[in-house]
Amino acid sequence: MARIPPVMPTEAPGNYNTGSLFNATTKALGDFLTNPPRYKGYATSAQALLSGTTLVPITLDTDDYDTDGGHSTTTNTSRYVCRVAGTYTITGCLGFNSSATGNRGAGITINGTSARGSITQQGGIASNSWCAIVTCDAVLAIGDYVELVGWQTSGGSLNTAVTAAFGPSLTLKWIAA
């Protein structure tokens, strides 16, 4: 069920801030701001991406936290579905196993469309794994979905890396209404 950020109360001289009015406004706002919507999920298994420039959603099978139940680990596991409208800071991390051939890319999509300024790419590295962090702020409506995406052009299948340091992860933090 979607939450709605409480509105800051206003008061006029002569009005009385009763207990029920205080709880419905000031306390509700404080409760919301001390527990804003936030999510962090990650992948524990490698995902094979075929060579090509098509953005492939990355499966996230484990959640560190999900305050509003926007992610399922059984259905549409690549998607975080917004439950509280507002502006979010979105951060993704994606790593690939080492390969010197082709390029790698990582990004964030909202409703299947690349978020402005959220895609990065780089050539493959022969002696080491490749990792990227992508981030953006975005205004989300209830029902919008966010995905971490990746692509690679090595000429064959290439697995995502799943170490704790640079395995696939997606984090969202609500920052404003």
List, as one string, the DSSP characters of 32-51.
Answer: HHHS--EEEEE-SS--EE-S
The amino acid that residue 100 corresponds to is A
The predicted structure's pLDDT at residue 135? 96
The predicted structure's pLDDT at residue 1? 60
Which residue has 């990065």 as its token pair? 120
pLDDT tens by residue, the chain, 177 residues: 677 887 777 777 777 778 887 777 888 888 888 889 999 999 999 999 999 989 999 999 999 999 999 999 999 999 999 999 999 999 999 999 888 889 999 999 999 999 988 888 887 777 677 889 999 999 999 999 999 999 999 999 999 998 878 889 999 999 998
The predicted structure's pLDDT at residue 55? 95
As a whole number of angstroms, the distance between CA 75 and CA 149 comes to 17
Closest CA to 31 of 69, 3, 61, 70: 3
pTM of the model: 0.89
Phi–psi pair at 127, nearest 5 degrees: -100, 0
The predicted structure's pLDDT at residue 122? 86
Domain boundaries along the sequence of the chain: 1-35, 37-176
- State the CATH architecture for 37-176: Sandwich (2.60)
Q: Is the sign of the CA dihedral 91, 95, 100, 106 positive or negative?
A: negative
Element at 89 (helix H, strand E):
strand 86-96
